[in-house]
Amino acid sequence: MEYNFRDIEKKWQQKWVEEKTYKVAEDNSKPKFYVLNMFPYPSGAGLHVGHPLGYIASDIYARYKRLQGFNVLNPMGYDAYGLPAEQYAIQTGQHPEKTTFQNIDRYREQLDKIGFCFDWDREVRTCAPEYYHWTQWAFQKMFNSFFCNKCQSAQPIEKLIAHFDQNGTEGLDVAQTENLTFTAEEWKAMDEQQKSSTLMNYRIAFMGETMVNWCAGLGTVLANDEVVDGVSERGGFPVEQKKMRQWCLRVSAYSQRLLDGLDNIQWSDSIKETQRNWIGRSEGAEVEFNIADSDESFTIFTTRADTMFGVTFMVLAPESELVEKVTTAEQKAAVDEYIKYVKGRTERERMIDHKVTGVFSGSYAINPFTGEKNPIWIAEYVLAGYGTGAIMAVPAHDARDYAFAKHFNLPIIPLIKGADVSEESYDAKEGEVINSPRTDVKPYIDFSLNGCTVKEAIAKTKVYVEENGLGRVKVNYRLRDAIFSRQRYWGEPFPVYYKNGIPTMIPEECLPVELPEVDKFLPTETGEPPLGNATVWAWDEQNKKIVEDTKIDQKGIFPIELYTMPGFAGSSAYYLRYMDPHNKTALVSKEAAEYWQNVDLYVGGSEHATGHLIYSRFWNKFLFDLGISCKEEPFQKLVNQGMIQGRSNFVYRIKDTNTFVSFDKKDAYEVTPLHVDVNIVSGDILDVEAFKAWRPEYNDAEFILNDEGKYMCGWAVEKMSKSMFNVVNPDMIVEKFGADTLRLYEMFLGPVEQSKPWDTNGIDGCHRFLKKLWKFVTEGERTETASKEELKALHTLIKKVSADIESFSYNTSIAAFMVCLNELSKLKATTKETREALAIMLAPFCPHIGEEFWQMLGHDTTVCDAPWPVFNEEFLKEDSVKMMVAFNGKARFPMEFPADVTSEEAEAAALNDPQSAKWMEGFTVAKVIVVPKKMINIVLKK
RNA sequence: GCGCCUGUGGCGGAAUUGGUAGACGCGCUAGACUUAGGAUCUAGUAUCUUCCGAUGUGCAGGUUCGAGUCCUGUUAGGCGCACCA
């Protein structure tokens, strides 16, 4: 009987649907296991062979866990909102909903062919109202919360209001945009408008006037992680800084918790490190400097408190509000000109060339440690958004300050013994402190750091600063608040209306606020949101419903927010929704959340390290504070699958002709390399006839073949993309070899985490293995009792496969299958039990053939619920062991010993052996070392 | 500049975590069966070699009886952060 994968796969895929084999429900009698893939956004191009890589890996793990008796949740859905889906819709001139749904159908069709064990009853789509209901709901909860620094958690805003009523801002320690100060009386005296804007300073979801990344090409603002090298990640349009009123999420409040949480999750070091960098914690001190001849003062942030005595000038960021205050009349013209210059420079320019520029403000600051007057400069190398936007410059020990001091001829005072600062600054935080205070001037205060190490000096200065009221110890984070609104159509609407200009939440029971139809959904370059084109889009407060905006002037009818939410809104808590996807009254029920807890294994690309994986952790921590999520961290273990790159092929056209020359002969001509569809190339040999038929302009193409009469193509590894004609479609592989072969081959290609180019050539080996296995199971001789060799081969496999699946080493466990089959094929006959064990262990990798075998062996249940074979060490034991005996680590020879030999016996035997005696001549035994591999090394001395 | 990761045959990649380097697959070579081979089966395949053996995991050292694995330095590639004070 032939291995007819087409019929087998069709049969089982139908059966799985009919019998709902993969439907899961909470079941307290079984331990749970939650496997999750990052859900895809359905692009118009469909799936290529790279997409299923992670899905296959997690599918194998999910099936394995189920065989081990776990109740496994393995859901799938679509991230259907956001820029990508909308860009595609705009390019094809169709409504985003229509194209999105088409793409989803296409994805589903392709996914179904590969045989995944997804529970499709739990599918979610971020663009479905019953889903984004809970995205809007979470936003409202964030709006109605503030973050308490003391208890490090989100609290209801009412608590804060009560505090203001009682004490104003006295004794407040909360996450905030600005450090406001007011009394209870002042608070009470505020009108509604003032109270609203004051509270915005504290809400976790708040509206703020902030510098945003404005991208005119996309017609929207972007989050920091969506901007790469000053251009938009999607589309590559230039991005400029612009001040706009935007919704923001106070992600920064959770900085410390986001950092601490990394210690308790099993993620790769590189992703954790990337997140640590992104959060950017730095410990330092804020120190206050008075401005000379003025009542004003300002605060700087430094991590090098030990260098207070080496300050020779101060620098303000050009955007700082202080600039105006410190600029003197004489310097005004120069400062204005400089500010103008800085404004004319784009973010990108500032990032690429670090020009040393700046201007003197005319004022001086008094150094509280030396009493000296340090000139205040304004320079673009100081950033407004970090710390306080002002620094003290210590050119001797900071490279940037050093470059600035050299350029503008400012003094440089070294503070570390032996540091040579004539050519460059000494930035290392080590050495003995000197010149603090300098011995040639009269000390200004009674405080000295001389003789300390840098570390001691930092600590000592911090204590002094706090005790003398000069400032405070401060931890700064690089992590910024996330900008949460987009001037786009295809996203979640905000459940917000503007009552007399005050942002007000639409009542919870009226959610979701559904996305209205519009005539024109294209964004505008000026930032007018497309939702403004909706005819039905105003809130009737009395009747609690959405009405036509023509009524906006009437009493009680208010405009609804026109912005929409960004892509990460819908993807931040979808893993919770999968637990209870059809719940109409809650994001997730308490029972479901408590049963499934959090994701045990999350599989997805590492490109989301600073986006989705930060936002999701933030979002989950917030819901954890509310008691919705049961675990502080959403994803316990994370595996980052590598990218599958494309392997492009090239043909070489001789200039100005329609003649193509084979790769190995092209150097004799002047040629243009052209991408050629990899589907008409096999083993780098071009199918010449298919090439002629590929495009009309090649119909009469001529070829210069190589000596073997073949046309060889060149090749290169590039991103898999339509434009390079290197896309390999999984459907075609499934059609030719079957889904089981595709699954096996994708895993056999190498470690899941590694990026690698796709190469269909090796697939034959995997297909051959399945054919051989098929033959073995269907035609091999049978016996009742298993031989020693059979048990050994089988149990070697059980041990290897169990360990390898646990550690995601799928490629090596497939190799073990091949070895095992080879061993078994050498035997005359094998037992039914061995075949059953093979079927069960193969099922996670190749579920269709696994089911087929299981049925052939007389079972009428699904192989998914079979018990995983039990490993028995006994069968691996040998009668005798071969050991190596080594002298001086050089000469070695093998000796046979009984299997249960002890190291003493082995040593004695080795010493008595005539051959070894020859080796040992002139030596005495120094020591015997027993090593894990049962090799004994005898160390000899002359 | 700072941080993280990776360098093993013609290729993808193994190596029980310090113990016979190159599992398994591709490719290649030879043979068998075939009208045919892009089917199947068998054998071989790190390098050098005077066929005894010697060398061999980017490079140079070190620790060890023993190093692909640990340490130091170096080089190449990839990733992240970056005038972050």
Pull the structure tokens for residue A31.
Answer: 């331990």
CA distance A214 to A223: 9
Residue ranges, chain A, pLDDT below 50: 888-891, 932, 942
Query: What is the per-residue pLDDT for A888?
Result: 47
Nucleotide nearest to A772 (CA to C1'): B40
Instruction: Give the nucleotide at minimum CA-to-C1' distance from A379.
Output: B83
For residue A902, the model assigns a pLDDT of 66
CA of residue A400 to C1' of nucleotide B83, angstroms: 6
The reply to whether A269 has its C-beta less than 7 Å from any atom of strand B is yes
CA–C1' nearest nucleotide, residue A269: B4
Q: Which residues contact A530 (CB under 8 A, 6 or more apart)?
A: A487, A488, A489, A518, A520, A521, A522, A523, A524
- The reply to whether A588 has its C-beta less than 7 Å from any atom of strand B is no
- Spanning CA of A606 to C1' of B5, the rounded length in angstroms is 13
Query: Beta carbon of A939 within 7 Å of strand B?
Result: yes
Q: How far is CA A75 from CA A34, A374, A742, A761, in A?
A: 9, 63, 21, 32
- pLDDT at residue A817, rounded to an integer: 96
- pLDDT of res. A243: 80
Cβ of residue A750 lies below 7 Å from strand B: yes
What is the reported pLDDT for A479?
A: 92
Q: How many Å apart are A760 CA and B27 C1'?
A: 13
pLDDT at A76: 97
Chain A residues 398 to 417 with C-beta below 7 Å from nucleic strand B: 398, 400, 403
**What DSSP line would sit under A11-22, residue for residue?**
HHHHHHHHTTTT
Q: Which nucleotide is nearest, taking the CA of residue A894 and each C1'?
A: B20
A708 CA to B30 C1' distance (Å) = 21
Q: What is the pLDDT of residue A263?
A: 87
Nucleotide B38, nearest residue via CA and C1': A682
Positions 807-846 of A with beta carbon below 7 A from strand B are 809, 811-812, 814-815, 818-819, 822
Residues lying close to strand B (Cβ under 7 A), chosen from 208-227 of chain A, are 225
Residue A87 gets which letter from DSSP?
Answer: H
The single residue listed with the structure tokens 């004695």 is A908
Q: What was the pLDDT predicted at A308?
A: 94
Q: With the CA atoms of A127, A133, A139 and A145 taken in that order, what torsion angle do they form, in degrees rounded to the nearest 10?
A: -160
User: CA A815 – C1' B42 distance (Å)?
Assistant: 21
Nucleotide whose C1' lies closest to the alpha carbon of residue A753: B5
CA A55 from centroid of its chain's CA atoms: 16
A886 touches strand B (CB under 7 A): yes
Q: What is the pLDDT of residue A662?
A: 82
Q: Which bases of chain B are under 7 A from a protein CB atom?
A: 3-5, 12-20, 23-27, 38-41, 65-66, 78-85
pLDDT of residue A120: 98
pLDDT score for A896: 63
A188 touches strand B (CB under 7 A): no
CB neighbour burial string for A322-347, b if at least 16 within 10 angstroms, e if fewer: bbeebbeeebeeebeebbeebeeeeb
Does any strand B atom come closer than 7 Å to the Cβ of A888?
yes
Distance of C1' in B47 from CA in A730, Å: 40
State the DSSP string of A328-367.
-TTTHHHHHHHHHHHHTS-HHHHHH------EEEEEEEE-
- Whether nucleic acid strand B comes within 7 Å of the CB of A880, the answer is no
Q: Which helix (H) or strand (E) holds A866?
A: none
Neighbours of A353 (CB within 10 A): 8
- In angstroms, how far is B63 C1' from A923 CA? 24
A140 touches strand B (CB under 7 A): no
In the 344-383 segment of chain A, residues within 7 Å (Cβ) of strand B are: 350-351, 354-357, 380-383
Within A 305-324, residues with CB less than 7 Å from strand B = 317
CB atoms within 10 A of CB A755: 16
Distance between CA atoms of A534 and A555, rounded to whole angstroms?
Answer: 20
Query: What distance in Å separates the CA atoms of residue A272 and residue A262, rounded to the nearest whole number?
Result: 6
The reply to whether A754 has its C-beta less than 7 Å from any atom of strand B is yes
DSSP A767-801: HHHHHHHHHHHHHS-B-SS--HHHHHHHHHHHHHH
Residue A210 tokens read as 């902030």
Report the pLDDT value the prediction gives residue A273, as an integer from 0 to 100: 85
- pLDDT at position A890 is 44
Dump the DSSP string for A161-214: HHHHHHHTTTT--B--SS-----HHHHHH--HHHHHHHHTTTBSEEEEEEEEEE
Distance, CA of A415 to CA of A408 (rounded, Å): 21
